Amino acid sequence: MSEFSANAMRVMRDIAEASSSPDECKKNIVKHLGKHDTEVFHSQVLVAGYIKPARSKGGIIMTDRNVQEDRYQGTIFLVLSLGPAAFKDDSIAKFHGVNLKVGDWVMAVAGDGIAMDIKGLPCRLYQDTRILMRVKDPSIYY
């Protein structure tokens, strides 16, 4: 595993160990990122991947392989930042009043976003039209 991947794995594992619920995951992602000075342009949406708790409700410890799989194939994300034109109607896209805010959980296809790490945390940048839906409880999707 490269140093880059090992750092991301360590960050994800730390957040998974510290989180037993989606609310704790959100809190730990925000705490880890702190101030990151990222300015998103146009109609882009910056998100961080949902990191499942390290232990299942039955007490089973998730392996690094499970954590790594979420990094590449996860479909649930936390909205970190929105560009100024995100979810605004224009001549191409009509959102019919749907709007997102920072802190919302959303679903999107992993491959539709540009993958990056911010402070070791797996993130993606999406065009607003590639966000598929808002979810209330990310733990029920897999």
Q: Can you give the CATH number for the domain in which 73 is found?
A: 2.30.33.40
DSSP 136: S
Residues 13, 16: Cα–Cα separation, whole Å: 5
| Residues contacting residue 36 through CB under 8 Å, at least 6 positions apart | 80, 118, 119
pLDDT of residue 107: 97
Q: What's the rounded mean pLDDT across residues 14-40?
A: 91
Q: Do the Cβ atoms of 51 and 14 come closer than 8 Å?
A: no
Give the residue carrying structure tokens 């995100």.
86
Tens of pLDDT, residue by residue over 59-118, are 788 777 777 777 777 899 999 999 999 999 988 889 998 999 999 999 999 999 999 999
pLDDT (0 to 100) of residue 1? 52
Q: How many domains does one find in the chain? A: 1
CB-facing half-sphere around the CA of 122: CA atoms within 13 A: 25
| pLDDT range class, residue 2, cuts 50, 70, 90 | low
Spatial distance between the Cα atoms of 101 and 131, rounded to a whole number of angstroms: 13
Which tokens go with 73? 């194939």
This prediction has a pTM of 0.89
Number of alpha helices (DSSP H) and beta strands (DSSP E) in the chain: 3, 6
Find all residues with CB under 8 Å of 38, minimum gap 6, and list them.
46, 80, 81, 118
Please, which pLDDT band fits residue 41 given cuts at 50, 70 and 90?
Answer: very high
Helix (H) or strand (E) segment spanning residue 33 = helix 22-33
Domain range for 33 is 3-140
